[in-house]
Amino acid sequence: MSAHATVPPLRPPLVIYTGGTLGMVESDSGLVPGGDIEARLARALNALPAQRRAAIPEHEVLAFADPIDSSAATPREWQRLAREIAKRHREHAGIVVLHGTDTLAWTASSLAYQLQGLDRAVVVTGAMQPLETEGSDAADNVELALRFAVNPALQEVAIAFGGRLMRGVRGRKWQTRDARAFASPNYPLLGERVGDDAILYPGRGLARQQHGAPRFELPDYAPLAEGGMARLVLWPGVTARQVAAWLEDPALRGAMLEVWGGGNVPEDPGLLGVLTEASGEGKLLAAISQCPHGGIDIGHYAAGLGLRAAGVLSADDMTPEATLTKLVHLLAQPLTDEERRRRFLTPLVGER
């Protein structure tokens, strides 16, 4: 391109509707995803006070033809959404994703790994109440997401919800009813609504040298969506046989283990043997704590040393959502075992 070539101006941010309570309507069998989202969204945003309305950026809307309750999402949906964003993001000033809250944090985490090196914002949001419900949080959340989506200083996947902005790969659904439904237990908020302003806190976003140049990785997740991954939460009394029933499945490629406190498991040679055998077969195993706050330190107690010997990787202070989606992402790529393990332990998008 010559130095004088004109760069076409960016189109307004794109709002992608995937489903979720935000766009749901009543049916005989309860709430179901509804259509006509563009007009319904416009009506809800128009009902906001004039001063706030004036600060909402113009936007375009793309509605998936088959909006879902996000409880139905699988790695296939994560992949589809990332590809859609990868295809369109360069034309738009930012992207907002409207998503069901139930698995929103999983999708946001997965998007972060697939869209590494983003040079603009992808803001995921949803609502606890449908757009048309009296007192709904839907318009507030979309307003906030749009305002952050056009902030050029935000260059990563984030979650805007309940007046707060958090790193997508650090966020978790934390409440079943409260409008402040999401939390970021191990990383500070990236931004917040303060009065009528959407404030981005300096120094908390992925800095340019951290996120590097756009280098999207869009591998095929479909094989992992067929039972390739498992989440095992240990409990007092868990037996080697029970863990083996999960890990010996030939379709399984990796698993996330939720262990105790700072990284402990029962000192049961049978159980550790099952883990060692699975690792030895090339299954990628990672451990997180059952405590929502803080990380793990495998080997601090003798009761945790067995995990290290069994080849289980420490996910440190990552969320369950960030851990499992990272395992999926790494397993979907043609990497050596050693490279997968190295990347798992390396922060790719500020997830650890």
Instruction: Give the x/- contact pattern for ligand ASP in 19-58, rule: CB under 6 A.
Output: xxx-------------------------------------
> In the complex with ligand ASP, which residue's Cβ is closer, 19 or 254?
19
Spatial separation of the C-alpha atoms in residues 325 and 345, rounded to whole Å: 14
Q: Name the minimum Å distance from CB 80 to ligand ASP.
A: 16
Which of these, 280, 291, 293, 283, lies nearest to 256 by C-alpha position?
A: 283
Q: Name the minimum Å distance from CB 288 to ligand ASP.
A: 23
Which of these, 156, 98, 99, 101, lies nearest to 128 by C-alpha position?
A: 101
Instruction: Give the x/- contact pattern for ligand ASP in 67-106, rule: CB under 6 A.
Output: --xxx----------------------------xxx----
The residue written with tokens 């798992």 in the block is: 344
Instruction: Please state, as a whole number, how many other Cβ atoms lie within 10 Å of the Cβ of residue 64.
Output: 17
Piece of 44-52, 66-74, 141-149, 327-335 that binds ligand ASP (CB under 6 A)? 66-74
Contact 70, 102 (CB under 8 A): yes
Query: What is the widest separation between alpha-carbon atoms in the chain?
Result: 70
Instruction: Please state, as a whole number, how many other Cβ atoms lie within 10 Å of the Cβ of residue 269.
Output: 11
Q: Which helix (H) or strand (E) holds 292?
A: none
> In the complex with ligand ASP, which residue's Cβ is closer, 71 or 333?
71
Spatial separation of the C-alpha atoms in residues 142 and 197, rounded to whole Å: 14
Q: Name the minimum Å distance from CB 324 to ligand ASP.
A: 17
In the annotation, is 133 catalytic? no
Percent composition of the chain: helix, strand, coil (DSSP 3-state, to 5): 35, 20, 45
Which of these, 23, 15, 181, lies nearest to 105 by C-alpha position?
A: 181
Q: How many residues bind ligand ASP (CB under 6 A)?
A: 11
> In the complex with ligand ASP, which residue's Cβ is closer, 45 or 128?
128
Among positions 113-172, residues that touch ligand ASP (CB under 6 A) are: 126, 128
Q: Name the minimum Å distance from CB 160 to ligand ASP.
A: 14
Tell me which of 18, 21, 103, 125 is the catalytic residue: 21
Q: Name the minimum Å distance from CB 99 to ligand ASP.
A: 7
| Contacts with ligand ASP, residue ranges (CB under 6 A) | 19-21, 69-71, 100-102, 126, 128
- Known catalytic residues are 21
